[in-house]
Structure 1
Amino acid sequence: MKLLFKLIVGIIIGITVGSLYYGVDATGGLDTFLTFLARLFVTLESILGSFIFFMIPLIILFFIANGISKIGAGSGKVVGATLGTAYLSTLGAGLLAYAVSMFIMPKITDGGSVPEEGTALEPFFEFEIAPIMDILTALVLAFAFGIVITLTKSQLMEKWFEEGKNIVEFLIEKVVIPLLPFYIAGVFAGMASQGTIFRTLAVFGVVLLVAVILHWVWITIQYTIAGIALGKNPFKMIKTMIPAYFTALGTMSSAATIPVTLRQTKENGIRNRIADFVVPLCANIHLSGSTITIVSCSIAVMTVLPEYQLPGFMSMFGTILLLGIVMIAAPGVPGGAIMAASGVLMTNLGFNEAAVAFMIALYMAQDSFGTATNITGDGAVSAIIDAYEQKLNKKA
């Protein structure tokens, strides 16, 4: 919540500086101090953005490879079923968000007709840090190393990727996340200096409301399926999970909510050994709520920013397929999911830094709701796996 407050302050400061510059520039005047201040913010955005995007391939490589290498223990069929169920849930959530957003978002944003006004500010200098590899290369390497480490049980390489993950997570938590408010402030200062910011922002409150409603719809669908699988009332199951939902609203962390998620999942009648395995695993790989937010907000951003066109189904379907995989690489810190997903948005949808900055701001504004949906869904996945494992035992 402190980070969210800082991001809001950053947005307000950025808009204020950019708007003051635009007001002076629009009247034909010249205020040296305001020009310097606005360009300083844009320069900060350029430097910090370069570092953030440098980190994205490293996030994907180390987190995915480490995550895959850790999924070696336990019954093969149960592990596979858990991974498959979590992935299908994420995929279904993304498709639901796409179907609803393609219909609703253009109406909310009036087709995305945002006029370009004013003159774009230039930074004092360009500071570009080239990533060591592109997104798809990092993704392929992560899967290749993770799978081979699992098969060969190479303790040295497993330890290497785990240490690399810890280093990257430290950089994210101690460097990237604290710098996000300054980066966001620079982006919004640049946009406000063009005179388009207030019209652009006016639609996003409704966009976030749509995303939260979709979260609740998806929770209902998940527990309907889980209830059918176990022969239980889905709404009673949802009611039991409410403490976990509200705990996640406060912590904004699936990992920090695991104890409550476990307790409530077991209260729903899920056997201990299933819950003890599925809930911690899904806390890292099942991010259906985050996917709903990313998909719906990305479509909203493309309707608002004039340089983008709405994607076709196949283009967005490919993006959602990749998001389901990349969510495994989401660091366990506030905003980690959008940090991991931004590479996919840039590669598949052509997002530039301004579009990614909008996504970060939107995502952080609802991060607690997305996290709450993720962990509540973990209880549904546990129920489905419990029903599946009982059927396996009957066949045996």
Structure 2
Amino acid sequence: MKKNTSLIFKIFLALLIGINLGLICKYINFEFPIKFLATFSELFGNFLSFIIPLIMIGFIVPGIASLGSNSGKALLITTILAYISTLGAGFIAFFAGSNIFPKFLKANTLVIASGNNISSFFSIEITPIMSVTSALVFSFVMGISLSKIQNSSILNIFNELNVIVLNITSKALIPLVPFYIGAIFAKLSFSGEIFTTIKSFAIVYTVLFIIQGLYILLQYSLAGIIKKKNPFKLIKNMIPAYLTAIGTQSSSATIPVTAECVKNNEVSEEVTDFVIPLAATIHLAGDTITLVLTSMAVMYMTGRIPTFPIMLPFIFMLGVTMVAAPGVPGGGVMAALGILESMLGFGTLEKPIMIALHAAQDSFGTATNITGDGAIAIIMDKILNKETQIDNELNKNTILE
């Protein structure tokens, strides 16, 4: 918990230092520190572009393979419900952003802010081993294929790659992210447009938190109708899990508390023990709301219009891409960087902005994820209990005959 809090603190500290450094250097007309930071950000950005395909393969292949290795109707129904919930979150976020952001966000803010371009001292080109699209297709093909093979030695290789990539992400990328973000914001503040950018971010977060809260209410309204229970009472029972997720910033680490809260909502132990660990991996409604809204905001601020045809495939891919995203702060956005680059065209300016926007609210996105897991468990409990009753009735009739 202290580690997660420390990361958020470092990001905010880096933002503060970067903004003030850029303003001071602009005031005294001293470019050297900004050029130094520009060199670091370019080198780190190139390394990030190199590692993104490996992150996608390391996360997605084991995630899909392990998911497919299980069997049964319960797995299929839970997966469908989780994916529908994730898609629903994405579409609601899109329509909210489409109606609100054009009225409040200033077009070309980031383009203007990056217009005073500070060149780096030197650059090292690091070519990725494959394109993001190739990595995505390869991951799906291998993940689905390996899910059909029991005790696959090849899957063990990808599991080890998952560990390697997770170590690179948690021990190299994530610790350097605050410096990367600080360098980008130093360049932005040096241009003189930083305060307009920060004002835009405040608007994005206001919309973001409102949509997350409304989506939790929507999920439990549906669960309450199905279970014939007051949705506010169901949500009240989930508050300990929500608060725990804010502290742990990890769906996996919150599983014990989530399970206890779900049982308090009168969900059977069997369903709870199956649904909650699975949903913690595949249900990412909170992250989807965050990434859809923040990516739309960044597009508006760079003079692009996030139309429905552009965002539709992105939303569909987002739920799949982040399956089995690592339980470390910023893991969700790291897993999504590939499709942000390949599908939305995000580059060296947009990607660090996305990391900063996501990291600042990561704990609330996680809390929205796991609270939604409780709603899925309630629905699954009703579905499975109904099927059990039908099976018992059929068996009873067979015996009488």
Q: CA deviation at 1:94?
A: 0.5
Cα distance in structure 2, aligned partners of 1:52 and 1:115: 22
In structure 2, the gaps of 5 or more residues are: 392-401
**Are the aligned partners of 2:109 and 2:193 in contact in 1 as well (CA < 8 Å)?**
no
Residue 377 of structure 2 corresponds to which residue in structure 1? 382
The correspondence for 2:305, drawn from 299, 304, 310, is: 310
Query: For residues 103-146 of structure 1, what are the alpha-carbon distances to aligned partners after superposition, in whole Å with 9 as ceiling and x for unaligned?
Result: 11122214455673763100111123222122222222112112
* 1:93 counterpart = 2:89: yes
Q: CA deviation at 1:230?
A: 2.1
Kindly provide the amino acid, as one letter, of the partner of residue 19 in structure 1: L
The correspondence for 1:63, drawn from 59, 62, 67, is: 59
Matching of residues 22-61 of structure 1 within 5 Å: 22-25=26-29, 34-61=30-57
Q: CA deviation at 1:37?
A: 1.1
Q: CA deviation at 1:286?
A: 0.8
Residue 298 of structure 1 corresponds to which residue in structure 2? 295
SS of the residue corresponding to residue 126 of structure 2 reads: coil
**Kindly tell me: are residues 75 and 271 of structure 1, through their superposed partners in 2, closer, same or farther at Cα, counting changes over 3 Å?**
farther
* 1:127 counterpart = 2:131: no
**Are the aligned partners of 2:111 and 2:301 in contact in 1 as well (CA < 8 Å)?**
no
Q: CA deviation at 1:76?
A: 1.9
The correspondence for 2:74, drawn from 68, 78, 84, is: 78
SS of the residue corresponding to residue 133 of structure 2 reads: helix
**Kindly tell me: are residues 255 and 57 of structure 1, through their superposed partners in 2, closer, same or farther at Cα, counting changes over 3 Å?**
same
The correspondence for 1:319, drawn from 295, 314, 317, is: 314
Matching of residues 277-296 of structure 1 within 5 Å: 277-296=274-293
The correspondence for 1:106, drawn from 102, 105, 112, is: 102
Residue 169 of structure 2 corresponds to which residue in structure 1? 172
Q: CA deviation at 1:75?
A: 4.5
The correspondence for 2:389, drawn from 365, 385, 394, is: 394
Q: CA deviation at 1:90?
A: 0.6
Residue 149 of structure 2 corresponds to which residue in structure 1? 152
Stretch moving more, 316-325 or 384-393: 384-393
Cα distance in structure 2, aligned partners of 1:269 and 1:371: 23
Cα distance in structure 2, aligned partners of 1:276 and 1:370: 23
Stretch moving more, 171-180 or 11-20: 11-20
The correspondence for 2:243, drawn from 233, 243, 246, is: 246
Cα distance in structure 1, aligned partners of 2:52 and 2:298: 20
* 1:232 counterpart = 2:229: yes
**Are the aligned partners of 2:17 and 2:182 in contact in 1 as well (CA < 8 Å)?**
yes
**Kindly tell me: are residues 331 and 115 of structure 1, through their superposed partners in 2, closer, same or farther at Cα, counting changes over 3 Å?**
closer
Cα distance in structure 2, aligned partners of 1:341 and 1:51: 16
SS of the residue corresponding to residue 323 of structure 2 reads: helix
Residue 133 of structure 2 corresponds to which residue in structure 1? 136
Cα distance in structure 2, aligned partners of 1:81 and 1:106: 38
In structure 1, the gaps of 5 or more residues are: 26-33
Residue 360 of structure 1 corresponds to which residue in structure 2? 355
Cα distance in structure 1, aligned partners of 2:51 and 2:388: 45
TM-score w.r.t. the length of structure 2 is 0.92
Q: CA deviation at 1:163?
A: 0.9
Residue 334 of structure 1 corresponds to which residue in structure 2? 329
* 1:18 counterpart = 2:22: yes
* 1:3 counterpart = 2:17: no
Kindly provide the amino acid, as one letter, of the partner of residue 130 in structure 2: M
Cα distance in structure 1, aligned partners of 2:196 and 2:206: 18
State how many pairs are aligned: 386
Residue 215 of structure 1 corresponds to which residue in structure 2? 212
Q: CA deviation at 1:290?
A: 0.7
SS of the residue corresponding to residue 232 of structure 1 reads: coil
* 1:275 counterpart = 2:275: no
Q: CA deviation at 1:266?
A: 1.1
Cα distance in structure 1, aligned partners of 2:287 and 2:60: 17
**Kindly tell me: are residues 113 and 166 of structure 1, through their superposed partners in 2, closer, same or farther at Cα, counting changes over 3 Å?**
closer
Cα distance in structure 1, aligned partners of 2:261 and 2:69: 25
Query: For residues 357-382 of structure 1, what are the alpha-carbon distances to aligned partners after superposition, in whole Å with 9 as ceiling and x for unaligned?
Result: 11111111111110100010111111
**Are the aligned partners of 1:43 and 1:186 in contact in 2 as well (CA < 8 Å)?**
no
Q: CA deviation at 1:257?
A: 0.6
SS of the residue corresponding to residue 273 of structure 2 reads: helix
Give % identity.
44
SS of the residue corresponding to residue 306 of structure 2 reads: coil
* 1:348 counterpart = 2:315: no
Kindly provide the amino acid, as one letter, of the partner of residue 3 in structure 1: L
Cα distance in structure 1, aligned partners of 2:110 and 2:10: 27
Cα distance in structure 2, aligned partners of 1:127 and 1:229: 58
Kindly provide the amino acid, as one letter, of the partner of residue 167 in structure 1: I
Kindly provide the amino acid, as one letter, of the partner of residue 79 in structure 1: L
Cα distance in structure 1, aligned partners of 2:112 and 2:28: 17
SS of the residue corresponding to residue 46 of structure 1 reads: helix
- Runs of 4+ deviating beyond 6 Å: none
SS of the residue corresponding to residue 128 of structure 1 reads: coil
Cα distance in structure 2, aligned partners of 1:329 and 1:343: 15
Cα distance in structure 2, aligned partners of 1:53 and 1:11: 22
**Kindly tell me: are residues 73 and 154 of structure 1, through their superposed partners in 2, closer, same or farther at Cα, counting changes over 3 Å?**
closer
